[in-house]
A = this chain, B = another copy of it.
Amino acid sequence: MDRIDNQILSIIHENARITVSEMSRKIAMSQPAVTERLRRLEEQGVITGYRAVLSPSKLGKYTTAFVLFKSKNCKEFEEFGEAAPEIVDFYRTSGEYNYLLKVVTETSETLEAFLESCNTFGFSSTLVVLSTRFEDKGLITSQDA
């Protein structure tokens, strides 16, 4: 994990579909060398995947909310969470609440319906997202790369 690896990570976090050739030009290194470094970063688990970022609103999902949850039966609630398509992110947390969920739904009505379906598992508190300033800022700072 040297400076070149950090450059590769920074570039590929910005644009996961960049070609290895283009990257090799950016960092002034041969294309097979970059391919090999990428392979290693994947193998070591530094890179865990590559994802397209989709616009919720363009897919008819206009409501995003964070739900703080205090569940009684954790096992049952986690099984419910796995199966619920509305839950995009699912975290176990410390504090008064033991779960935090990011929920994406069509409208506030479908959010309400979702919250009601959670009621049997415990108590929740919901924060509706008004707007997103930014998401998924890179973990590599310019000084690292």
CB within 8 Å of B: which residues of A? Answer: 9, 12-17, 44-56, 58-59, 61, 64, 66, 68, 78, 81-82, 85, 87-95, 97, 100, 104, 126-137, 139-141
Contacts and interface: CB of A to CB of B under 8 A. Distances in A.
Contacts of A61: 139
Contacts of A45: 55, 58
B94 A51 contact: no
A46 B59 contact: yes
B129 A93 contact: yes
Contact of A136 (B13, B82, B88): B88
16 contacts: A9-B52, A13-B51, A16-B51, A46-B59, A47-B53, A47-B54, A59-B139, A87-B137, A88-B137, A89-B134, A89-B135, A91-B132, A91-B133, A92-B131, A95-B127, A95-B128
